[in-house]
């Protein structure tokens, strides 16, 4: 039996313009573990020689290996390698490790450009034997654990966006609850 394909989608509503959101999510040093609860580096960033010094090319030359600790007690190690980057609105990526497949993050302005809608889509299948064996009965639990992990990421990113930027401006995240 082939591994089940999971189509997982999340939408985050963020209290900052797309450019500010992009600066955090598309950081070439992959700052996600600094703001995403239960996310940590599984190893150093792997970077090949980029085609240019542009943010887009540096991202496409980078692979991040991340651990995500699920509420159910297991940890997934996932590699994320951007394959297409359109600044400041879209990143397509390949995923590897415990979840293999593809993903996409798309940013769209909301509230006259003062807020951002971030759509995140994953099309992945588990590579771990235990997960594939349990999927027929545990798929709803895995999907719920993913949704919780994504909500935690959204809350962490809202907090990161509330920190003052280089101009000293700060966004009030409670205005978007």
- pLDDT tens digits for range 25-37: 999 999 999 999 9
Model confidence pLDDT, tens digit, residues 33-64? 999 999 999 999 999 999 999 999 999 999 99
Q: What is the pLDDT of residues 131-152, one digit of tens each?
A: 999 999 999 999 999 999 999 9
| pLDDT of residue 175 exceeding 80 | no
Q: Tell me how far apart the alpha carbons of residues 59 and 38 are, in angstroms, rounded to a whole number.
A: 23
Instruction: Please list, residue by residue across 130-167, b when 16 or more beta carbons sit within 10 angstroms of its beta carbon and e when fewer do.
Output: ebeeebeeeeeebeebbeebbebbbebbbebbeeeeee
Q: Which domains are delineated in the chain?
A: 6-163 (3.30.530.20)
Judge if pTM exceeds 0.85: yes
Question: Mean pLDDT across the stretch 105-116?
Answer: 95
């Amino acid at each position: 039996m082939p591994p089940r394909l999971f189509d997982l989608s999340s939408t985050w509503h963020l209290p900052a313009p797309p450019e500010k959101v992009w600066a955090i999510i598309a950081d070439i040093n992959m700052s996600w573990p600094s703001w995403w609860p239960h996310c940590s580096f599984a190893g150093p960033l792997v970077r090949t020689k980029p085609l240019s010094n542009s943010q887009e090319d540096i991202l496409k030359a980078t692979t991040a290996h991340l651990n995500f600790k699920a509420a159910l007690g297991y940890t997934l190690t996932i590699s994320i390698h951007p394959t297409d980057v359109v600044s400041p609105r879209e990143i397509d990526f390949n995923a590897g490790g415990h979840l293999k497949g593809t993903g996409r993050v798309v940013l769209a302005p909301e509230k006259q450009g003062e807020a951002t809608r971030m759509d995140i889509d994953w099309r992945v299948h588990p590579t771990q034997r235990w997960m594939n064996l349990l999927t027929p009965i545990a798929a709803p639990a895995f999907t719920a654990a993913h949704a919780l992990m994504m909500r935690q990421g959204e809350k962490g990113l809202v907090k990161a966006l509330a920190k003052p930027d280089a101009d000293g401006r700060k966004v009030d995240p409670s205005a978007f609850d």
